[in-house]
Each structure stands twice: as structure tokens, then as C-alpha cells.
């Protein structure tokens, strides 16, 4: 389950391709798709630019809870922004972590909706299971509140595949259904291709931000 009442993905993906940037906390070079952009508002308040499109100065931080939490401390902000950032108290730091996790969660739902319109998504436990058998699914999302029987059905299909497909527990049937213009949807399959890679990258960032060091 997720922390702070938020969802968490069971499986964290391994992003290795694409352009790289240096994490401002660890100083390690990482694929840009696995980083978050930390920016300053006009008044110096830090915020996370989830889509990476906001103008102005920003630094990249690895999409891991510990890294972002360290960046938001007074010492971290002072070092990363050379005294230009507004210092946050512990409550404000926590709120940014929660807000960022929520936004990443919403981003995956937005991508699912987009993917459905672009014919890159199939949904429903039976349809996803069938798609897996025929090699038409590269990534699976299963709602956290789906029945154990349904979740096991998909897991069993995946276990019989020559090449395992990542299965992730994510969100609720109602929230996934809302993204697809339906009532409740228990499972979503993403077709192979570029869009599946985008979904994997988004999933990895959410997973990394939800996980604590002790998890």
C-alpha cells in the first residue's frame, strides 16, 4: 500500500535510456526520465515541476522520496539554490512530498485516458488477460481494490509468459474507471511501443517517490 494514504506501485521499473542529467542531491548522472525538476516560484517558494515544462531556474533530483526530502530541507535548499529559496518548515516539506506524489498519481491516470483515445490501452480483467496471452500487452495496471481472484487471474497469466510483463497495483477501480469514462475498471493493459515506455517512466517516478528507505 502507499504511504500517506496514497497509492504505490508494486514494481519499480528500470529506466536506462534517453538523455541524462545530474541529480543535484547525489551528484550521480541519471536518465532524465527518472528525475524530478525542482523549481522556485517568483517568491522563492520551491515546487516540483512534474511535467518539466515550467520556465525559470530549476534543478534535477532523482525521483526517490529520500532524495527529494533531502533537497527540501533548509540545508538542501540553501545549497541547491544558493540562498535564493524560501526555507520550508517540516510541515511544508511534507506537503510538497504529498502534493508531488498526488500529481504523479494523477499524471498516470491522465496518460491512461490519453492512451485509451489513442488505441494504446485495453481494459477489463478478461480483456487484459487475453491481450497478455496474445502478446498485445507490455505493462499492466491492476487496481488496489480489485478482487483477489481477479488479481490472481492476471498474475497467473503473466507467470506463464515466456517474457514476464510488469504488473503494478495502482489507484482504485473507481479512479481508473473515471479516467476511462467508465464506472469501475479493475485492470488496464498498455500496448507495446513508445507509449508503454512513457507509462513505465511515469510509473517508476511514482514508485520511487512513494517508497521510504525502510520499505
* Ordered DSSP codes for 112-172: HHHHHHTT-EEESHHHHHHHHHTT--SEEEE-TTS-HHHHHHHHHHHHTSSS---EEE-S-
Residue 50's domain spans which residues? 3-106
**Is residue 70 packed enough to be buried (19+ CB in 10 Å), middle (13-18) or exposed (0-12)?**
middle
Contact 176/149 with Cβ under 8 angstroms?
no
**Residues 140, 59: one domain?**
no
179 three-state secondary structure: helix
Last residue of a domain, one of 83, 106, 129: 106
Sign of CA dihedral 63, 65, 66, 70: positive
Instruction: Establish if 142 belongs to a structural domain.
Output: yes
Number of domains within the chain: 2
45 and 64 assigned to the same domain: yes
Q: Is residue 13 part of a domain?
A: yes
Q: How many CA atoms lie within 13 A of 58 on its CB side?
A: 19
81 plus 167 within the same structural domain: no
Confirm whether 215 is domain-assigned: no
pLDDT tens, per residue, the chain with 215 residues: 343 334 445 444 455 567 889 999 999 998 988 899 999 999 999 999 998 888 777 999 999 999 999 999 999 999 999 999 999 999 999 999 999 999 999 999 999 999 999 999 999 999 999 999 999 999 999 999 999 999 999 999 999 999 989 998 989 999 999 999 999 999 999 999 999 999 999 998 998 888 654 44
Query: Is there a single domain that holds both residue 7 and residue 102?
Result: yes
Domain-ending residue, one of 85, 106, 127: 106
- Among 106, 120, 118, which residue's Cα sits nearest to residue 205? 106
Amino acid at each position: 500500500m502507499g504511504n500517506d494514504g496514497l497509492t504505490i506501485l508494486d514494481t519499480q521499473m528500470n529506466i536506462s535510456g534517453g538523455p541524462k542529467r545530474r541529480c543535484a542531491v547525489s551528484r550521480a548522472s541519471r536518465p532524465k526520465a527518472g528525475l524530478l525538476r525542482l523549481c522556485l516560484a517568483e517568491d522563492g517558494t520551491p515546487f516540483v515541476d512534474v511535467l518539466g515544462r515550467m520556465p525559470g531556474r530549476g534543478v534535477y533530483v532523482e525521483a526517490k522520496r529520500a532524495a527529494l526530502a533531502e533537497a527540501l530541507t533548509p540545508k538542501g535548499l540553501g545549497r541547491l539554490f544558493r540562498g535564493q529559496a524560501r526555507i520550508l518548515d517540516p510541515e511544508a516539506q511534507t506537503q510538497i512530498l504529498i502534493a508531488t506524489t498526488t500529481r504523479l498519481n494523477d499524471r498516470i491516470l491522465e496518460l491512461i485516458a490519453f492512451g485509451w483515445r489513442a488505441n494504446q490501452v485495453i481494459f477489463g480483467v478478461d480483456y487484459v488477460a487475453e491481450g497478455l496471452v496474445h502478446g498485445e500487452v507490455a505493462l499492466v495496471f491492476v487496481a488496489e481494490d480489485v478482487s483477489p481472484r481477479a488479481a490472481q487471474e492476471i498474475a497467473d497469466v503473466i507467470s506463464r509468459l515466456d517474457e514476464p510483463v510488469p504488473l503494478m497495483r495502482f489507484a482504485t477501480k473507481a479512479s481508473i474507471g473515471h479516467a476511462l469514462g467508465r464506472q469501475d475498471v479493475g485492470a488496464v493493459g498498455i500496448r507495446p511501443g513508445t507509449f508503454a515506455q512513457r507509462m513505465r517512466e511515469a510509473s517508476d517516478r511514482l514508485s520511487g517517490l512513494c517508497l521510504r528507505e525502510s520499505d
